[in-house]
Copies of this chain bind each other. A is one copy, B any other.
Amino acid sequence: MPLEALRFDVTPLGLHYLLIHYDIPEVDEESWRLEVDGRVQSPLSLTLDELRSLPQVELAVTMECAGNGRAQLEPHVVSQPWIVEAVGTARWRGARVEDVLDQAAVEKDALEIVFTGLDRGVEGEEEQFYARSVGIGELTGTDALLAYEVNGVTLPPQHGFPLRLVVPGWYGMTSVKWLSRLTAVETPFDGFQMRSSYRLREREDEEGVPLSRMRPRSLLVPPGIPEFLSRKRIVGAGTCELRGRAWSGLAEIAGVEVSTDGGDTWSDAHVERDGLGRWAWRSWRFGWDARPGEFVLCSRARDAAGNVQPLEPAWNTGGYANNAVQRVPVTVAG
């Protein structure tokens, strides 16, 4: 998502970030079914129409890739080299996961649901369909959705047509696209994407901690105009309203601070009440009296649970969850 798109409350289709692990699968809507099996009393095989006939819920959700910020880590971690742009907010419409699990009558001993997509590839020398599990507790009494629409239209291929999971507040790897199957299991799922990928580890031989909810982050709309190759920003002198967005999957945003000197001194920004709901980013504004010279603009979010963005990234083997403050070098022209 180009950062000027932070100005939209809801990211227009085509500007939301995408991470496609393998290929976008070819799906025939007529023959497609969502299978629900495993530790359930009533296995299901649902058509899209059957899913649409369940109570429909629409939620604005900010989703961020767990690898957002990876390109800023030293030493470099080889994978998608996101700087800070792997984010977006969309209106997802679908059925509650809980309603489908209720219909299947999940057994009491079920611990997790395994969500399996139709996207297939080889990773870590294992041929696999992309699959992730989510604990039952995260799926009942929550806003987790099986979405068939985004921003008012049928899911496009790249967002998971015909059906995807959306787990608000979590990094995007959990929200499995191109769903084919939900399987209730009584022991923790140890597929590649749970066991090997998406874990915070400082060394490859550590077990590590699985990634889950998004850490707080704020980003600003880069002011002024860019220099083509360097993408450095040039701003005219005078009053300049800095705008941005902030979010956290851990708790509500409690405040955003702005620095114009690379993080030495900070001032409070004004955080708006946007009415987009708990799971969408919050917009913020800050009046800057831009005087000629060189500046490094930063913003820093904190959430109601006391989590604050760090000034420097914490390295890990997968290059995940780097929510260090954004730095936007700006030249104010005289």
Residues facing B in A1-43 (CB within 8 A) are 2, 4-5, 7-8, 12-16, 18, 20-24, 26
- Asked if A121 CB lies within 8 Å of chain B CBs, one says yes
Of A55-63, A172-180, A212-220, A221-229, which stretch is located at the interface?
Answer: A221-229
B13 touches A226 (CB 8 A): no
**Does A311 interact with chain B (Cβ within 8 Å)?**
no
B22 touches A228 (CB 8 A): yes
CB–CB A121/B227 < 8 A: yes
- Tell me whether A241 is interfacial, beta carbon within 8 Å: no
Residues of B within 8 A of A16 (CB): 14
Give which listed residue, B20, B22, B158, contacts A12 with CB less than 8 A. Answer: B158
> A8 — nearest CB in chain B belongs to which residue?
B157
A interface size (C-beta, 8 A): 35
- Complex CA gap A7/B156 in Å reads 14
Q: Nearest B residue to A26 by beta-carbon distance?
A: B7
A46 to B83, CA, bound (A): 40
CA distance A21 to B226 in the complex (A): 9
Q: Is the CB of B156 within 8 A of A226?
A: no
Name the B residues within 8 Å of A26 (CB-CB). Answer: 4, 7
Q: Which of A12, A122, A222 has the most CB of B within 10 A?
A: A122
Give the residue of B24, B122, B123, B227 whose beta carbon is less than 8 angstroms from that of A5: B24
Q: How far is the CB of A183 from chain B (nearest CB, A)?
A: 22
Tell me whether A5 and B78 are in contact in the complex, defined as CB-CB below 8 angstroms, given that A123-B227, A225-B122, A234-B122 are known contacts.
Answer: no
6 other A-B residue contacts (CB within 8 Å) besides A14-B156, A21-B228: A12-B158, A22-B228, A23-B225, A121-B226, A121-B227, A123-B227
Residues of A within 8 A of B (CB): 2, 4-5, 7-8, 12-16, 18, 20-24, 26, 78-79, 120-123, 127, 156-159, 222, 225-229, 234
